[in-house]
Structure 1
Amino acid sequence: MNPMTAEQRRELQNVLGFAIAADPDAVFRAVGAFHRAGQIGADRAAVTRAAVGALSLAKRLLAIEEAYATVRTTIARLEIANARGHDDYNLRDLAAELERVGIDLKDDYDIADDLARAAESEGLL
């Protein structure tokens, strides 16, 4: 998968303006609207709902692309600093940097901890 460039993200943001990003439930509603709009004999309202859903999905895509770019940039910055001997960053530093730039992994840590605990109790780790 090729990530969007910063220029593409800016252009998309300009097109989308103040459209609201789809929440998880809206993703399912939009996909359902696309499905209904694609059926033979779909009414105009179904097509309109699909078009509105597409805008909110595009806004969600843009938010995901922005977060993805932030993660990639943060990892690259820390790796280059390590490679040039400017510092010796570790995974805890990476986590702190990601949190600083707005990428909150606390829920992911909880899930990973639960999985690790389960694996330990089964003797897998």
Structure 2
Amino acid sequence: MILTTADQRAEANAALGFSPTCDPDGIIRVIRALRYTDRHRGDAVAVANALGWAQTVVRRLLDIEAEYSKVRATIARLEVANHRGDDYTLADLAFELQQDGIDLKTDYDHADDLARAAEQEGLL
């Protein structure tokens, strides 16, 4: 997969204008709306709604790419710093990401649940 550059994301954001980001459930609603619209192309309201909702998915994709780019850049920066003699840890990575607005608390909770389940499997 080829990721968008910061310039491409900026251009896409400018072209998109203001559009809210859909929530995870919104993705399914958009897919259903697009499928309905594909079958009922004469329904102008359905077409207009599907196009509007599709823009919220595009906004979400742009937001995800921007966040993913931050994660990659932070990992790369700390890794290069470590190769040059610094001693960054995973805790430093988490702190840096949090400073960039990327909170991993939910991911930590999920990872902890998985670790506990794996430990319990070992006890059976």
Q: Same fold by TM-score, threshold 0.5 exceeded?
A: yes
Q: Does the 8 Å CA contact 2:21/2:56 hold for their aligned counterparts?
A: yes
How far is the alpha carbon of 1:16 from its aligned partner? 1.5
Residue of structure 2 in register with 1:23 after alignment: 23
Structure 1: gaps of 5 or more residues: none
1:6 alignment counterpart: 6
Query: How far apart are the structure 1 equivalents of 2:56 and 2:2?
Result: 21
% identity of equivalent residues: 54
Mean alpha-carbon deviation: is it higher for 6-15 or for 25-34? 25-34
Deviation at 1:41, TM superposition (A): 5.1
Q: Which amino acid aligns with 1:103?
A: I
Q: Which amino acid in 1 is paired with 2:12?
A: L
SS in 1 for 2:39: coil
- CA distance in 2 between partners of 1:13 and 1:51 (Å): 16
Q: Is the contact between residue 78 and residue 94 of structure 1 (CA under 8 Å) also seen in structure 2?
A: yes
Size of the alignment, in residue pairs?
123
Consecutive unaligned residues in structure 2, runs of 5 or more: none
| Alignment of 1:103 onto 2:102 | yes
1:4 alignment partner, SS class: coil
Aligned to 1:49: 49
Higher helix proportion (structure 1 or 2) = 2
Q: Which amino acid aligns with 2:44?
A: R
Give, in angstroms, the shift of residue 123 of structure 1.
0.9
TM-score normalized by the length of structure 1: 0.92
Cα distance in 1 for residues equivalent to 2:15 and 2:41: 30
CA contact (8 A) 1:30 1:49 kept: no
Counterparts in 2 of 1:41 and 1:118: CA distance versus 1, 3 Å: same
Following superposition, which runs of at least 4 residues in structure 1 exceed 3 angstroms of deviation?
A: none
Q: CA deviation at 1:69?
A: 0.4
Determine the C-alpha separation between the residues in 1 that align with 2:91 and 2:32: 41
Deviation at 1:111, TM superposition (A): 0.6
| TM-aligned CA deviation for residue 40 of structure 1 | 5.0
